[in-house]
Chain A
Amino acid sequence: MVMRKILFIPILLAVIAIISFSVLTPSTTENPTLSIVEPIDFDTVPIRIGTIGDSATKLIIRFQPTANYLAEHLSDEQTQYSGKVVIAKTIDSMITLLNNNELDIFVESPFTTVTIMEHTEITPSLIRWKQNSQSYHTVFLSLIDSNITSISDSTIETWIFETKESTSGYLLPLAYMSEQGIFSSSNGKKQNFIFSGEDENTPVWLIEKKGDVGVMSNLDFEALPVSIKNKLQIIDQTMDVSRHVVSINSKLDFTLTEKISEILINMENDPQGVKIMSDFKNTKKYSEFDSLEIDTIKKMLDSIPIGIQN
């Protein structure tokens, strides 16, 4: 009788163990969770807006609301549009896209726009008031305790630019320097160009004395921390150029082109449009673009000696 009781205990424990075991033992395979992907709406007409940049992810996310807004407002009972953002990594890629009619609206800085214009059929139509500014210019900076007070200073050996693609950080100051005869009056003295990669880096490099003069847009300079700004002085500045230019592919239907311009210009009157613009790098509004600026920029670009620009 006692032995039966003794044997009963391990049997009971074994039963508990088996139950616990079956509860605790996990399945070795996780079934994939399938989700339904929304089918592509093949009945819509894409309205494609694009720019040039390295970070497609960042730019697509930034441009997509505007593309959607345009699509929504272009759509009518006959035609449904869908907004699509196309990013090209290089100017050449963008030229190809435009020539292949794979892009409808091109948004870029004036200098890049002029460069693209020379190889494609686009029409600069609107100014995008990026960062609440219709236009901007480049300022030339030196250290506040430096003896360099002019870009003509002969002691300047090294210039700090942003990137070769940047308008305010390279092309605009380069053209201005050319106009000011910096390259012709250097008396054979070699000018060193270094590139900081980001506009925030330029003042830091200047303070670290990696170069003698740095360039950046007046808007970026104003945004610098006071502690940094106080260490710098503006020794010169370029002419103003439009902040951002919206060009439309000339192959696009004229009515559609007109409608696109109208929608963008009227965005400032629509709370939804204002919100989208605000999120789009503090765009204040879209306004008409003065085509005369194209010629001015072309002249500036042409003034840059061959061999320096690239």
Chain B
Amino acid sequence: MKLSTQFLILILFAALFFAVGYQSVFYFQIQQNIVDSRVSEASSIIQLSGNEMKDSVYFLDYESINLQLNNLKKNPLISNVLVMYPDGRVISDGTESNEQFNMMTKNDFIKTSIGSDIIHVEIKQNMIQLVIPIIIVDKIGILYMDYSLSDINQILMNSLFVLLIFTIFLSVIGIIVGLYISSTITKPIRNIQNISTELAKGNFDIDFDSKKSSIDEMNNLLTSLQEMSINMKENQLELLKSERFSAIGELSAQIAHDIRNPLSIIQASLDLFEYLKDDPEKFDKLLKRNSRAVDKITRQIDDVMDFIRHSKLHVEKIHLKEMFDSLVLEINNIDKIKINLPKNDLEISGDKGKLFALFSNLILNAFQAIGDDGIITISISQLNDAVQIDIEDNGKGVLEKDLGKIFEPLFTTKQEGTGLGLASCKKIVESHGGSISVKNNPTTFTVILPLVCNPVN
């Protein structure tokens, strides 16, 4: 999971937790505050009323008692009031009929409270019950009151609604801040990831300064990567230089080895020229031998030059059938070898000279592979935007272990060869934007060239 996603989940969890927790705690806190406030309110009312009723209760002035009880009942939160004798018998319930007069109350709370000389409060589900003694030196009566709590649910719901809006607002702010923080943290990480990818591709030209962030740790990591990039670049240059030296040495050794034999022949011939000048037949034979040695040296040097030389492609239209026909006419002087030429023709664009050299090299390779007797088959087929040319022979093929190395420079399995022929072929194909491969059974070199050449430097 992405770090930013994880971070967002964390923020959402926190926001949800905060929303639920905050509301739960505040719900009970508000409920408690309202209940406390109601208890305080009810206690004040009953205490005040108890004081005001002292004289009325003392004189058993029913008219005054009822007046005061009815005044209390005008408060919508007061649902029931009773004035009682100290023993619990009802003096008045505030009604004209006063049906409970002189009756003992059945209310358990009153029963347990009448013996006390202080205020008693009990909170039931939707009601506060209060009992206060009426005392003038001695207890002369008891005042009981029910104070409603039924409306606090609506107050709580209103409070919760406000709280919910507030919490949603806070949560949205939290998520926005979380996203910003997430972005602040993950952006430098993404930058570092991109830098690593570029470094893996071998691109060391990275603008590290533009990737700096406000997070010190990330900047430290960036600095380390920058140092690593510089070191890698230096090491790569060193390696490249070393590889070049190695290749030059290898090539030099190969050339030296390849031209040593013809040079030895020329050296020996020079010594013999003096002795054979009177024998024209032998002299002529020696001269031809010298000439072949020089040709061999020239060919070796041409191969090397072909591989090393960087020249622009001279792109022109080429008819492949026509090219293969003239190519075979030029090189096919061995009767025992049969070449099957393609019957169809395709037109491509490319450097005619280089492609001629490419296919000439591949056909000569095939010649050398099949020896004195065999068949070489050339076929052309069109792909979407490319053409595929297969050169198949019935030779002994390439060793499996050499298949991967066959196009590498200086690799050769022949006694006389620079090891640059197939490497040159690969270079020509790639410079045309194509590809070359080889497989056994039967041995087939496959060249794929684009129909329209886009030269690749």
Contacts and interface: CB of A to CB of B under 8 A. Distances in A.
Nearest to B116: A35
Nearest to A33: B118
A87 B138 CA distance: 13
Nearest to B26: A24
Most chain A beta-carbon contacts within 10 A, residue among B3, B9, B13, B112: B13
Given A26-B28, A29-B122, A13 B58 contact: no
Interface string A1-45: 011001001100110010011001110111011110100000000
Given A37-B115, A56-B136, A9 B32 contact: no
A60 interface: yes
B177 interface: no
Contacts of B14: 9-10, 13
A6 B139 CA distance: 66
B431 interface: no
Contacts of A30: 39, 121-123
B334 interface: no
B136 A60 contact: yes
B13 A64 contact: no
A35 B118 contact: yes
A57 B122 contact: no
Contact of B6 (A2, A20, A21, A60): A2
Contacts, number: 92
B55 interface: yes
B92 interface: no
Given A13-B14, A32-B116, A32-B122, A57 B24 contact: no
B120 interface: yes
Nearest to A57: B54
Given A10-B17, A30-B123, A61-B137, A89 B59 contact: yes
A85 interface: yes
Contacts of B118: 33, 35
Interface string B114-142: 01111011111100000000001101000
Nearest to B31: A26
A55 interface: yes
A17 B113 contact: no
B228 interface: no
Contacts of B124: 29
A26 B31 CA distance: 9
A270 interface: no
Contacts of B17: 10, 13-14, 17
Contact of A57 (B61, B123, B136, B139): B136
Contacts of A10: 13-14, 16-17
Given A14-B17, A24-B25, A60-B137, A32 B59 contact: no
Contacts of A6: 6, 9-10, 13
Interface in A195-212: none
A118 interface: no
B317 to A, nearest CB: 61
Interface string B69-83: 000000000000000
A295 interface: no
A55 B29 contact: no
Contacts of B29: 24
Nearest to A29: B123
Contacts of A56: 54-55, 58-59, 136
B138 to A, nearest CB: 8
A54 interface: yes
B112 A34 contact: yes
B399 interface: no
A9 B51 CA distance: 57
Nearest to A23: B25
B13 A9 contact: yes
Interface of B: 1, 3, 6, 9-10, 13-14, 16-17, 20-21, 24-25, 28-29, 32, 35, 39, 51, 54-55, 58-59, 61, 109, 112-113, 115-118, 120-125, 136-137, 139
Ranked nearest first, the 8 interchain pairs of A and B with the lowest CB-CB distance are A56-B58, A32-B120, A17-B21, A10-B13, A57-B54, A26-B32, A56-B55, A60-B136
Interface of A: 2-3, 6, 9-10, 13-14, 17, 20-21, 24-26, 28-30, 32-35, 37, 54-57, 60-61, 64, 85, 87, 89
Given A13-B21, A24-B25, 8 more contacts: A14-B17, A24-B28, A29-B123, A32-B120, A54-B55, A55-B55, A56-B136, A87-B58
